[in-house]
Amino acid sequence: MKLKQLLIALPLALSAVSFSGASLASDSLLNVSYDPTRELYREYNEWFAEKWKSETGNSLNVRQSHGGSGSQARAIIDGLDADVATLALAYDVDALRKRGNLIPENWQERLPGNSSPYTSTIVLLVRAGNPKNIQDWDDLVRDDVQVITPNPKTSGGARWNYLAAWGYAEQKYGSKESAYDFVKKIFGNVPVLDPAARGATNTFVQRRIGDVFIAWENEAFLSVEQLGRGQYEIVVPSVSILAEPPVTVVDANVDRKGTRALAEAYLEGLYSDDAQHLAAKHFYRPSNAEIAAQYEDKFPKVNLFGIDDVFGGWDNAQETHFNDGGHFDTILEELAQQRR
Amino acid sequence: MTTVTETTTLTLDRADVWRRATEEPQWVRRLLIGTTLVFLALFLILPLIVVLYGAFEQGLKVWYAAITEPDAAASIRLTLLVVAIVVPINIVFGVAVAWAIAKFEFRGKTILISLIDMPFAISPVVVGLIFVILFGSQGWLGDWLNAHDLRIIYAVPGIVIVIAFGTLPFIARELIPLMQQQGKQEEEASLTLGASGWKTFWYVTLPNIKWGLLYGVILCNARAMGEFGAVAVVSGRIRGETNTMPLHIEVLYNEYMFTAAFAVSSLLTGLALVTIAIKSFIEWHEKRA
Nearest chain B Cα distance for residue A69, angstroms: 12
**A16/B contact by beta carbon, under 8 A:** no
Q: What is the pLDDT of residue A200?
A: 86
Which tens digits make up the pLDDT trace of A243-284? 999 999 999 999 999 999 999 999 999 999 999 999 999 999
Q: Domain check: are A196 and A267 in the same one?
A: no
**Residue type (1 letter), A179:** A
Q: Domain check: are A219 and A323 in the same one?
A: yes
User: Who has greater pLDDT, B118 or A19?
Assistant: B118
CATH for B59-288 is 1.10.3720.10
Please, are residues A168 and A141 in contact by the beta-carbon 8 Å criterion? no
Q: Measured between beta carbons, which residues in chain B are less than 8 angstroms from residue A13?
A: 81, 84
Q: Domain check: are A130 and A233 in the same one?
A: yes
Give the residue numbers spanning the domain of A19: 2-116+244-271
Q: Measured between beta carbons, which residues in chain A are less than 8 angstroms from residue B164?
A: none
Lowest-confidence segment of A68-72, A74-78, B19-23, B66-70 by average pLDDT: B19-23
Contact: B139, A17; criterion CB under 8 Å: no
Find the CATH number of the domain harbouring A312: 3.40.190.10
pLDDT of B18 > 80? The answer is no
Nearest chain A Cα distance for residue B286, angstroms: 25
Q: How far is B282 from B289, CA to CA, in rounded Å?
A: 10
Q: Domain check: are A260 and A224 in the same one?
A: no
Q: How far is CA B133 from CA A82, A245, B125, B138, B233, in A?
A: 19, 29, 12, 7, 11
Task: Give Cβ neighbours of residue A83 (< 8 Å, ≥ 6 apart).
Answer: A29, A30, A31, A249, A250, A253, A254, A257, A259, A262, A263, A266
In a domain, A294, yes or no: no
Give the residue-averaged pLDDT of A80-85: 95
Which residues make beta-bridge pairs with A64?
A31
Contact: A18, B238; criterion CB under 8 Å: no
Contact: B156, A17; criterion CB under 8 Å: yes
For residue A219, what is the nearest residue in chain B, using CA coordinates? B255
Please, are residues A92 and A156 in contact by the beta-carbon 8 Å criterion? yes
Q: Domain check: are A107 and A248 in the same one?
A: yes
Q: How far is A277 from A291, CA to CA, in rounded Å?
A: 7
Which residues make beta-bridge pairs with A212?
A126, A147
**B226/A contact by beta carbon, under 8 A:** no
Q: How far is B151 from B164, CA to CA, in rounded Å?
A: 17
Q: How far is A335 from B43, CA to CA, in rounded Å?
A: 36
**A66/B contact by beta carbon, under 8 A:** yes
How many domains is chain A partitioned into structurally? 2
Q: Domain check: are A202 and A330 in the same one?
A: yes
Give the residue-averaged pLDDT of A286-310: 91
pTM score of the predicted model: 0.80
Long-range contacts at A101-106 (CB < 8 A, ≥ 24 apart): A101/A252, A102/A76, A102/A77, A102/A250, A102/A251, A102/A252, A102/A253, A103/A248, A103/A249, A103/A250, A103/A251, A103/A252, A104/A251
Q: How far is A315 from A328, CA to CA, in rounded Å?
A: 15
Task: Give Cβ neighbours of residue A44 (< 8 Å, ≥ 6 apart).
Answer: A269, A270, A275, A278
Q: Measured between beta carbons, which residues in chain A are less than 8 angstroms from residue B255?
A: 38
Contact: A226, B132; criterion CB under 8 Å: no
pLDDT of B39 > 50? The answer is yes
For residue A256, what is the nearest residue in chain B, using CA coordinates? B149
Contact: A63, B254; criterion CB under 8 Å: no
Q: Domain check: are A230 and A126 in the same one?
A: yes
Q: Domain check: are A124 and A227 in the same one?
A: yes
Q: How far is A249 from A257, CA to CA, in rounded Å?
A: 12
Q: Domain check: are A167 and A308 in the same one?
A: yes
For residue B146, what is the nearest residue in chain A, using CA coordinates? A79
Q: Domain check: are A50 and A83 in the same one?
A: yes
Give the residue-averaged pLDDT of A39-67: 94
Q: How far is A281 from A295, CA to CA, in rounded Å?
A: 9
pLDDT of B160 > 50? The answer is yes
Task: List strand residue ranges (DSSP E) for A222-291, in order.
Answer: 232-235, 239-243, 247-249, 285-286
Task: Give Cβ neighbours of residue A43 (< 8 Å, ≥ 6 apart).
Answer: A278, A281, A282
**B149/A contact by beta carbon, under 8 A:** yes
Indicate where chain B has its CATH 1.10.3720.10 domain(s).
59-288
Question: ipTM for the complex?
Answer: 0.76
**B103/A contact by beta carbon, under 8 A:** no
Residues 162-221 of B with CB under 8 A from A: none
Of A100, A86, A89, residue with least CA distance to A32: A86
Q: What is the pLDDT of residue B72?
A: 93
**B238/A contact by beta carbon, under 8 A:** yes
Q: How far is A105 from A101, CA to CA, in rounded Å?
A: 9
Q: How many CB pairs under 8 A join A and B?
A: 72
Element (H, E) at B175: helix B156-182
